[in-house]
Each structure stands twice: as C-alpha cells, then as structure tokens.
Amino acid sequence: MEPLFAFIGGGNMGRALAGGLVASGHSPSRIRVADVSEACRLACAAIHGVMVTDDNLAACAGADVVVLAVKPQQLREVCVALAPVVGPSTLFLSIAAGITLAHLEAWLGDGRAIVRAMPNTPAQIGCGAAALCANGAVSNTQHALAESLLASVGVAQWLDDERLMDAVTALSGSGPAYVFLLLELLEQAGTELGLPAALSRKLALATVEGSARLASASSDEPATLRRQVTSPGGTTEKALQSFNDADLAGIVLRALTAARDRGRELAAQVPY
Ligand SMILES: NC(=O)c1ccc[n+]([C@@H]2O[C@H](COP(=O)([O-])OP(=O)(O)OC[C@H]3O[C@@H](n4cnc5c(N)ncnc54)[C@H](OP(=O)(O)O)[C@@H]3O)[C@@H](O)[C@H]2O)c1
C-alpha cells in the first residue's frame, strides 16, 4: 500500500511538496492537505487533485507521514492538538524555519519519530535544495520516506548534526533571495550602462540560469569555469578585480554569518 501523506498547511511550501509527490508518481488519493484557508484548499485541490480539508485531525487519521507546513509561530498549537490523536507509528516531518527537534519532541511527546527539514522556494518548480535531520526514533523506512518527499522537489541531503541547520538556512534557505538580489543588481547595472531595461533583465536572467546549469552539468569546479571566462588583461578580469577590491568574499561570508546567527537567536526565543 502506498504511504499516506497528510499536510498541515497547504501554502507555498506545502503545496510545492504535495505537487512534488504527485509529479513523482504518488497517487493524489494518498495525499491529504489540511488548511484553514479556503483559497489554499481550493488551489491544492485544483492543481494537484489531492484530498483537502479544514480539519487537521481528520487529515492525519491513519497517515504514515504528517508534514508540518504552517508558519513557525503556528506550529506549537498545531502539534499540541495533534499529539494525543496521531498514532505512534506516524512520522512527523517539519519544514518550519528555526523550530528544532527538541521543540517538536516537547510539543509532540517522547518517542515520536520526527524529521526536521529546511527546503527552499525553488521547490515550487522542482528545483529546490533541502537538508534534513532526524531524531533517534526515525526508522530506516521513515528516513527513506522523508528523503523521497524532499527529493521529489529537488536536492535532499541528510545532516548528522542538527546545529548545522542554521548554516543551511543561511545558505540555501535564504539563498534564493541573494540570487534574486544579484539578478536585480546585474539588471540595474546593465541599465546604467545604457542597455534597455527589458534587455538587461533578459540577459541577466539567462546568464544566471545558464551559468548555474553549466556549473551543474560540468565536471569542472566553479573556480575553473570562472578562470575559463577570464582572459589575462581582459574585461572579465577587470570586473573580478573590482569585486575583489571590494572584498566580495568577506561580504558574502559576513552576510551568511549574520543569517546563521539570526536563525540561532530566533530558535532560542521559541518557547517549549
Ligand atoms: N517560504 C520559504 O522560503 C520557506 C523555506 C523553508 C521553509 N519554510 C517553512 O515552511 C513553512 C510554511 O511556509 P509557507 O511559506 O508555505 O507559508 P504559508 O504560505 O503561509 O502557508 C501556511 C498555510 O498554513 C495555513 N495555516 C495556518 N494555521 C493553520 C492551522 N492551524 N492549521 C492548518 N493550516 C494552517 C495558513 O493559512 P493562513 O494564511 O490563513 O494563516 C497558510 O495557508 C514555514 O514554517 C516556513 O518556515 C518556508
């Protein structure tokens, strides 16, 4: 029998993950999505043909995996309501930013199988990057189920040390925003140099997408690919020198460190 997935929260991420399951061949009749928002329920049902409900407890009845996809500040209340009614063999998989396995164990009760994951928004088009970590109660079958869910919308990597989840959040969780910023800046600079705005955007987008795909397809390191574009004394070298003079490496490291530290701060503020 195919596993039964229940999603609590069918917003951006819940919908993306439910869609990934359907796209990877999972039967929509084995996916339930519970959401307080009628608009979200309608969207999930229309796009993926999955079962939808406004009743979290009913959605979880008999589920093999309960995916917790509400906002972090809504999660405690959701978990406390589910804990007495969800059976002991169900895997809980949380994608809430900054909510630790210890929080989830406190809210769901001892002995629960729990996976914490950090996906990112490109999961919406099947190009996500996610890290996962599990508590000691997760079985091999549940490990595989959790991984297959995240892998259905992109790259999925396990972490042995949960503390690294803050670094993952800083790199790939928040990362799409950095790439969008780079796109904006490339477009703006192109326009400043006289290109029409529409052309500047088109070239910037195609360059970022093409470079990422080339790096992904190539066996060469990104540094090698960079050197291949950089002729001595040429135009690219001038631009890269300008980035170096501004300490771009230091800027990026400081930005990710700030994001990592903020993640730690926010997690420390969540009450048990
Ligand atoms: N978006 C990202 O970049 C990203 C990346 C990684 C992880 N995450 C995590 O993914 C989770 C979901 O994020 P999202 O962007 O998908 O949020 P979202 O679009 O707001 O989706 C959450 C959905 O849950 C509904 N909801 C609220 N309370 C509920 C309850 N008690 N029972 C059932 N449904 C309820 C919300 O309805 P209302 O809108 O009416 O409240 C909303 O439709 C968050 O915990 C976030 O930290 C997000």
Kindly report, residue by residue over 32-42, the tens digit of the pLDDT. Answer: 999 999 999 99
Separation of alpha carbons 133 and 166, rounded Å: 12
Same domain, 157 and 201: no
- Tell me the residue range of the domain where 240 lies: 175-267
Q: Where are the alpha helices (DSSP H) in the chain?
A: 12-23, 38-48, 56-60, 72-82, 101-108, 140-151, 165-168, 175-192, 197-217, 222-229, 235-245, 248-269
Same domain, 90 and 119: yes
Same domain, 213 and 149: no
Amino acid at site 2: E
Q: Domain end: 131, 165, 199, which one?
A: 165
State CA 213 to chain mean position distance: 19
* Closest ligand 1 atom to Cα of 96: 45
Q: Domain end: 142, 165, 188, which one?
A: 165
Report the predicted TM-score, pTM, of the whole model to 2 decimal places: 0.95
Task: Give DSSP secondary structure letters for 23-38.
Answer: HTT--GGGEEEE-S-H
Does 60 map to a domain? yes
Does 170 map to a domain? no
Token duo for residue 110: 């001892």
- Pocket flag, ligand 1, residue 37 (CB < 6 Å): yes
Same domain, 159 and 44: yes
DSSP state of 195: -
Rg of the chain's alpha carbons, rounded to an integer? 21
DSSP state of 116: E
Does 45 map to a domain? yes
* Closest ligand 1 atom to Cα of 40: 43
Same domain, 62 and 120: yes
Token duo for residue 176: 């799409």
Same domain, 116 and 182: no
Beta-carbon contacts of residue 179 (< 8 Å; ≥ 6 apart)? 208
Does 76 map to a domain? yes
Same domain, 144 and 180: no
Cβ burial of 71 (10 Å; 0-12, 13-18, 19+) is exposed
Does 272 map to a domain? no
Same domain, 133 and 12: yes
Identify the residue whose C-alpha is closest to ligand 1 atom 40.
Answer: 37
pLDDT on residue 189: 98
- Pocket flag, ligand 1, residue 238 (CB < 6 Å): no
Separation of alpha carbons 208 and 162, rounded Å: 31
- Those residues of the chain that have pLDDT short of 50 are none
Closest by Cα among 64, 57, 42, 260 to 169: 260
pLDDT on residue 270: 93
Q: Count how many domains the chain has.
A: 2
**CATH classification at residue 126:** 3.40.50.720
Amino acid at site 204: A
- Top mutation candidate among 36, 77, 124 for ligand 1, by most atoms within 8 Å of CB: 36
